[in-house]
Amino acid sequence: MWDPSETTLYSMMMFLFMETILEMYLTRRQISVYKQCKTVPRELQHVMNGDTFEKARVYGLDKAHYGMFKMIVCDIVILQLELYFGFMAMVWARSVEIAENIGLNPKSEIQVGCLFALILNIIGIFKEMPFKIYGTFVLEEKHGFNKQTAGFFVKDQIKTFVVAQALTIPVAAAFIYIVQIGGQYFFIWLWAFVAVVSLVLITIYPVYIAPIFDKFRPLEDGELKKSIHDLASSVKFPLGQLFVVEGSKRSAHSNAYFTGLFGVKRIVLFDTLLVNKGLPADDPSLSESDKGKGCKNEEVLAVLAHELGHWKLGHVAKNIVIIQLQMFLIFLAFSKLFTYGPLYEAVGLPAGEKPILIGFMVIVMYVLAPYNTMISLAMTIMSRRFEYQADGFAQELGYADELGNALIKLQLDNLGFPVYDWMYSAWNHSHPTVLQRLERLKSLNKEGHKSKTQ
């Protein structure tokens, strides 16, 4: 018979293994779709030619095979070995040794915990880097999406690492301190602290952190800028600033979003969303492949109408509330479980040694894994519902045709494959597929919703 620590360890390993097998099974189903579906769907035949469809099919197939390989290496081999051989316990023991060697107090859990977090993050970079390099310079490069030079990539990784440590290490120190002094109800103080930190980061990220990684420029005065302000005013969206981010230096994929929790907000457009990246057609910086790509002004407005729908319908606020509730429940579960010795022994720590950070990681990542999976699926279902609602909001503003055109154009520009296995899509996609969204827009039109072109 296994002792409690062995039962805990093998239960965690078995669930994570079975979850990975499920994800691989779903990916295999989608790979079968890529292999079997070789003709353009009837709904897209007027805008998508066979060559583009084939490129999208091959791109999707390559990504799926890469995803399968990564799951095998990371989730089956590395993760299972790390759990079985007590990787976190090894890193903790090494952190204690290093703390003593560099003059820190090895008896201080806060000091050792910060060092542990730093070492774990450094190891994580080395584990993830081969996959990042392959994904960027092989997979995305092969299909024409990578725009990063090696120098840009290296600088980006260094900046990401420095910013991440500047944020996570102080939070880790405060986390340990609150648990140590918080008493029986420390989880309440912990939740309040993390909630405040989250809201502060959401507020300061677009102003102070995002510009570290990408160049932002104000949207030039003109018809599009005026139309966006008019659209925002029509739904009483407190728009302050309009920016274009040079996402084309990183990738050819397109996007748009708005930021700001309180008061005045800003809208950010990726330059890849705009026709000719928002530049004159004769701009010397435009490559031949960039010319003509992007959405027309009315289509950009339709995309923004969809995003404003998320705001107007309260989706952003609802997501924040749900996330905060989830964090509260996680901290509550942590407070009930973190003193259970077999959890620590299961990952290789000596009996009686219970580092707070390791306890939190084991509970959140492994013990609560079944709960996290169910919540993730529920959030995916809710997100898809929100997407349909936001599409409906855009259509009620009269952007039905333009939104449909924008969805198709983004699908083409991003080489998105339009056909998905229903199980794979339900598990993985927070957005309905483009065919599902077009069908919903069509059905709403039949129900009498107005269109901008009517």
CA distances, 190 to each of 1, 55, 332 (Å): 38, 49, 10
Asked if 392 and 442 touch (Cβ cutoff 8 Å), the reply is no
Active site residue 3: no
Query: Choosing from 307, 345, 401, 421, which is the catalytic residue?
Result: 307
Q: Which two tokens stand for residue 417?
A: 């494959």
Tell whether 315 is in a known binding site.
no
Residue 94's identity, in one-letter code, is R
Nearest-angstrom CA–CA distance, 378 and 427: 10
> Could you tell me if 283 and 262 are in contact, meaning their C-beta atoms sit under 8 angstroms apart?
no
Decide if 117 contacts 172 (C-beta within 8 A).
Answer: yes
Structure tokens given for 177:
């301190």
- What CA–CA distance (Å, rounded) separates 132 from 168? 21
State yes or no: is 307 an active-site residue: yes
Please give the Cα distance from 371 to 429 (Å, whole number): 19
CB neighbour list of residue 287: distance below 8 Å, 6 or more residues apart: none
DSSP one-letter code for 295: B
**What would the two tokens of residue 392 be?**
């409906």
Q: Tell me: is residue 387 an annotated ligand-binding position.
A: yes
Exactly one of 345, 391, 402, 413 is catalytic; which is it? Answer: 391
Q: How far apart are CA 339 and CA 359, in angstroms?
A: 8
Contacts of 65 (CB under 8 A, 6+ apart): 31
Give the 3-state secondary structure of residue 419: coil
Residues shown for the chain:
454
Q: Identify the three-state secondary structure at position 120.
A: helix
- Position 387, amino acid: E
Tell me if 288 is assigned to a ligand binding site. Answer: no
Residue 99 structure tokens? 């703390």
Beta-bridge partner residues of 295: 274
Write down the number of H helices and E strands in the chain.
18, 4
CA distance 124 to 184: 33
Six token digits for residue 384:
């898809």
E strand or H helix at 259: strand 256-259
Q: Residue 242 is inside which H or E element, if any?
A: strand 239-245
Residue 165 CB: number of other CB atoms within 10 A?
16
**Contact criterion met (CB below 8 Å) for 16 and 366:** yes
CB 218 within 8 A of CB 242: yes
Cite the annotated binding site by residue number: 306, 310, 387
Positions annotated as catalytic residues are: 307, 391
Cite the annotated binding site for Zn(2+) by residue number: 306, 310, 387
